[in-house]
Amino acid sequence: MSKAEKKVKVAVIGCGVIADFHVKALNAIDDCEIAGVYGNLPEQCKEFAEKYNLKVFTSMEEVFSSDCDMITLCTPSGTHAEISVNAMKRGKHVIVEKPLALTVEECDEIIETEKATGKICAPISQLRYSDNVRQVKKAVEAGKFGKLTLCSVYMKFYRSESYYAGSWRGTKKMDGGGALMNQGIHGIDILRYIVGNVKSVQAKVSTLVHNIEVEDTAVAAIEFDRGALGVIEGATSVMPGYPRRLEICGEKGSLAMEEDAIVKVDVPDLDLKISKNDAENFKDPAAFSFEGHRRQFNNIINAVLGKEKLEYTSKDAAETVKLILSIYKSSETGERVYL
């Protein structure tokens, strides 16, 4: 088979909520094929494999010694670093769901292992593949807002007690954090994508209504490298929950997004389509399309085949994790934290 015809063989690890999105997205890409699936719950794994007509791997070792080129990691966040590092050391590229990992040390180990093995560890941030998010980023880069002044993201979500009950979600070890590290990371990552890196944070996080080890309510005042200020709010404690709201404001104009819709544009010479948000994923975490994943996987598969540069790297994802960890540190110490 010539290089142009080579398909990247991907093994799916984990068979829960997000694994469905991964299988649908991979099935929609010509240059890859699914090698099979492995999950640590054999019954669930068998059922998942039957649903999509996939081969079942019965252990991680079987995946590592197979001829697959890549794994895609749909397992709880606390497993990401160890499995990613082991996979790269066994010669596999990795796609890893958000968050990349739960500590600075874990993020650094992933980045070091990529360098040492020459393998890719590609983290997921599917909102970076939204047309609207990209248009807003482009407008910022073209100077349409003038000097940016206030750039904020508000994520007032609701999750029920049953969402957390008996699950890895809400635990320190496997979730690493709550409303920010799990649910809010998407909004925080696109804020960084559009505005740039954050220089310092002053924050307070609390666990107000859920019986969990991590925060369900958080607020941070942030200062970007470029000088703009902003606010990050994240919660799973707000009934009934509101759509994620992103506000980019500057000396020449301002804009607001709700979920993926641009709902307000007051920027001179910026012709963006205004629409009404109808997404429900601020209430139901599985109520979104797999299109964002498909677009990002397309870039990742092309990067593995040497056809494109990898757009979203582990280094970039690590900055988002480090920002969230800085928010936790500021809350713990009461001090402003410099990144």
Which residues contribute to the site for ligand NAD (CB under 6 A)? 13-19, 38-41, 44, 74-77, 79, 97-98, 124, 126, 182, 285
Smallest gap from Cβ 249 to ligand NAD, in A, equals 27
Q: Which is nearer to ligand NAD, 79 or 331 (CB)?
A: 79
Residue 160 to residue 164: CA distance in whole angstroms:
7
Residue 263 to residue 127: CA distance in whole angstroms:
17
Tokens of 112: 């070091």
Q: Which is nearer to ligand NAD, 78 or 250 (CB)?
A: 78
Smallest gap from Cβ 241 to ligand NAD, in A, equals 16
Smallest gap from Cβ 73 to ligand NAD, in A, equals 8
Smallest gap from Cβ 168 to ligand NAD, in A, equals 6
Which residue's C-beta sits nearest to ligand NAD? 16
Q: Which is nearer to ligand NAD, 49 or 228 (CB)?
A: 49
Q: Which is nearer to ligand NAD, 54 or 249 (CB)?
A: 54
Residue 327 to residue 77: CA distance in whole angstroms:
18
Smallest gap from Cβ 21 to ligand NAD, in A, equals 7
Residue type for 124, please? I
Residue 158 to residue 65: CA distance in whole angstroms:
42
Residue 198 to residue 89: CA distance in whole angstroms:
32
Q: Which is nearer to ligand NAD, 144 or 245 (CB)?
A: 245
CB 84 within 8 A of CB 120: no
Q: Which is nearer to ligand NAD, 36 or 39 (CB)?
A: 39
CA 279 to chain centroid, in Å, comes to 18
Smallest gap from Cβ 227 to ligand NAD, in A, equals 31
Residue type for 315, please? K
Residue 314 to residue 104: CA distance in whole angstroms:
12
